[in-house]
Structure 1
Amino acid sequence: MTASGTTHHYVVRSPFARTGLSCSRPVAEHIDRLAAPYLTLLPGPREPGTWRTIADAAPPRGAVPHSVTAQGESAVDYAVDHPRKELYHLAPRGESWVTQSLLRATRAIHRSEASRQGVLFLHAGLVRLGGLGVAVVGGSRAGKTSFVMAAVLGGAGVMVCNDDVSLTADRDGGGVTGAGWPRSISVRLDTLDLLFGKDRAEAVRASLTHPANETLLSLRDSGVERHGTALIYPWEYADLLGTGIGRSARVDAIVHLSLADHPSEAELAPVAPAERGALLDRHVLALPNKHLNIFGHEPAPERLRRTRQALTSLPTFRFRYEFQDVRRQVDRLSGHLRARIATP
Structure 2
Amino acid sequence: MTAPAATHHYVVRSPFARTGLSCPRPVAEHIDRLAAPYLTLAPGPREPGVWRTIADGAPPGEAVAESVAAQGESAVDYAVDHPRKELYHLAPRGEAWVTQSLLRATRAIHRCAASRQGVLFLHAGLVRLGGLGVAVVGGSRAGKTSFVMAAVLGGAGVMVCNDDVSLTADRDGTVTGAGWPRSVSVRLDTLDLLFGARRARAVRDSLTHPANETLLSLRDAGVERHGTALIYPWEYADLLGSGIGSSARVDVIVHLSLADDPSEADLAPVAAADRAALLDRHVLALPNKHLNIFGHEPDPDRLDRTRHALTALPTFRFRYEFRDVRRQVDRLARHLHARIATP
Q: Report the TM-score when normalising by structure 2.
A: 0.99
CA distance in 1, matches of 2:128, 2:221: 37
Instruction: Report the equivalent of 2:37.
Output: 37
Instruction: Report the equivalent of 1:246.
Output: 245
Instruction: Report the equivalent of 1:50.
Output: 50
Instruction: Report the equivalent of 1:22.
Output: 22
For the 8 Å contact 2:119–2:298, the answer to whether it is kept is yes
For the 8 Å contact 2:155–2:243, the answer to whether it is kept is no
* Alignment map for 1:219-230 (pairs within 5 Å): 219-230=218-229
CA distance in 1, matches of 2:325, 2:118: 35
- Cα distance, 1:4–1:135 mapped onto 2, change above 3 Å: farther
CA RMSD in angstroms, aligned pairs only: 0.9
The one-letter code of the counterpart of 1:51 is W
* Alignment map for 1:133-282 (pairs within 5 Å): 133-170=133-170, 172-282=171-281
Instruction: Report the equivalent of 1:80.
Output: 80
Find out whether 1:59 has 2:68 as its counterpart.
Answer: no
- Cα distance, 1:105–1:3 mapped onto 2, change above 3 Å: farther
CA distance in 1, matches of 2:78, 2:14: 23
Q: Secondary structure at the match of 2:288?
A: coil
Instruction: Report the equivalent of 2:92.
Output: 92
- Cα distance, 1:45–1:268 mapped onto 2, change above 3 Å: same
CA distance in 2, matches of 1:254, 1:293: 28
Q: Secondary structure at the match of 2:289?
A: coil
Instruction: Report the equivalent of 1:299.
Output: 298
Question: C-alpha displacement at 1:155, in angstroms?
Answer: 3.2
Instruction: Report the equivalent of 2:341.
Output: 342
Find out whether 1:283 has 2:290 as its counterpart.
Answer: no
For the 8 Å contact 1:154–1:327, the answer to whether it is kept is no
For the 8 Å contact 2:127–2:161, the answer to whether it is kept is yes
For the 8 Å contact 2:154–2:241, the answer to whether it is kept is no
Q: Report the TM-score when normalising by structure 1.
A: 0.98
For the 8 Å contact 2:154–2:242, the answer to whether it is kept is no
Q: Secondary structure at the match of 2:155?
A: coil
- Cα distance, 1:4–1:343 mapped onto 2, change above 3 Å: farther
- Cα distance, 1:311–1:277 mapped onto 2, change above 3 Å: same
Instruction: Report the equivalent of 1:123.
Output: 123
Q: Any runs of at least 4 consecutive aligned residues in structure 1 with deviations exceeding 2 A, and if so which?
A: none
Identity of aligned residues (%): 88
**1:87-112 superposed Cα distances (whole Å, 9 cap, x missing partner):** 00000000000000000000000000
- The alignment of Structure 1 onto Structure 2 pairs a total of residues equal to 342
**1:246-268 superposed Cα distances (whole Å, 9 cap, x missing partner):** 01000000000000011100000
The one-letter code of the counterpart of 1:81 is D
**1:309-331 superposed Cα distances (whole Å, 9 cap, x missing partner):** 00000000000000000000000
Question: C-alpha displacement at 1:3, in angstroms?
Answer: 6.4
For the 8 Å contact 1:4–1:26, the answer to whether it is kept is no
**1:128-165 superposed Cα distances (whole Å, 9 cap, x missing partner):** 01110000000000000000000000532100001000
CA distance in 1, matches of 2:130, 2:279: 23
Q: Secondary structure at the match of 2:335?
A: helix
Q: Secondary structure at the match of 2:248?
A: strand
Q: Secondary structure at the match of 1:246?
A: coil
CA distance in 2, matches of 1:155, 1:37: 17
CA distance in 1, matches of 2:106, 2:32: 12
CA distance in 2, matches of 1:144, 1:101: 26
Deviates more, 1:4-13 or 1:187-196: 4-13
Task: Give the gaps of 5 or more residues in structure 2.
Answer: none
**1:6-56 superposed Cα distances (whole Å, 9 cap, x missing partner):** 100000000000000000000000000000000000000000000000011
For the 8 Å contact 1:121–1:285, the answer to whether it is kept is yes
The one-letter code of the counterpart of 2:120 is L
**1:268-298 superposed Cα distances (whole Å, 9 cap, x missing partner):** 0000000000000000000000010010100
CA distance in 1, matches of 2:5, 2:216: 34
CA distance in 1, matches of 2:154, 2:331: 13
**1:150-199 superposed Cα distances (whole Å, 9 cap, x missing partner):** 000053210000100000001x3141000000000000000000000000
Question: C-alpha displacement at 1:200, in angstroms?
Answer: 0.2
CA distance in 2, matches of 1:238, 1:83: 40
Q: Secondary structure at the match of 1:142?
A: coil
- Cα distance, 1:17–1:3 mapped onto 2, change above 3 Å: farther
Q: Secondary structure at the match of 1:102?
A: helix
Task: Give the gaps of 5 or more residues in structure 1.
Answer: none
Instruction: Report the equivalent of 1:68.
Output: 68
